[in-house]
Amino acid sequence: MSRSTLPLLDSSLYPQVWQQQTFTSPQALLLSMLSATLSREVTIDASAFTKQLLADDVYQEWINTKVFGRYLHRNFTAFYQQTEDSFNTDMPALFRQELVRHAQYLPLGQVLFFAGDMPKSVRQTKTLTTTVNPATAIINAQNLAQKLTVNTSKLIINQITITGKQVLGFAIRHNKRTSERLRNEVLILDFQDLRLVNEQAIEDIKKSNIDDSILLRSYEMR
């Protein structure tokens, strides 16, 4: 079956202006947001970037080419994670097969983010939920850190760069009237390899009275 490749979103979105500064790449914007998070100079807000996304023609093409919404995404995740219901043992594979049939190739060089430790099952299931909104990734990491510890907040941010031509996925179309509109998620459904290429502890910009720390992991996916 022939598949099309989505256009490169980052080339359309960047340069991006945030806090009166101009950033030419998602990596640079993420680092600036992380710096502001550590210094507590700014409260990270996902809505501003979401507005930029929704105003972008390429992102509109991403979310409207295959109009899969959050409801379908939740049900897919639930089916795929269940292991005890023998009546539905075939459903995860069937559901995944149908989604893959409608998926498209993600563009080379596209950067995606997600928060927290990499799930151990990702390399087997070849399924991962990411976001193109760096603010969403930071907020998700903050929420995860708050659940794990009360004394320190270890923020873990993962950055994935698409380096292969056959990474399959699609953008999830969110309801604009709900809080989920700020997720800006991209569901990855298939890939050949996922490789950690860099792990950086961001502490050189840390202030003495701040207990937070950030671990930034960079991956390549093909």
Q: What is the pLDDT of residues 181-211, one digit of tens each?
A: 788 999 999 999 999 999 998 865 444 444 5
Describe the strand order of the beta sheet including 194-202 as a list of residue ranges.
Answer: 104-105, 168-171, 185-190, 128-131, 111-115, 154-162, 213-221, 194-202
Q: Which residues contact 121 (CB under 8 A, 6 or more apart)?
A: none
On the question of pLDDT at 159 being above 80, the answer is yes
pLDDT of 206 reads 45
pLDDT exceeding 90 applies to what percent of the chain?
53
Q: What pairing do the DSSP bridges indicate for beta strands 185-190 and 128-131?
A: antiparallel
pTM summary value: 0.85
Residue 139, classed as helix, strand or coil, is helix
pLDDT of 158 reads 97
Higher local confidence (pLDDT), 42 or 111: 111
pLDDT of 153 reads 61
Four-residue CA torsion sign, 60, 65, 70, 74: negative
- Please give the Cα distance from 207 to 213 (Å, whole number): 10
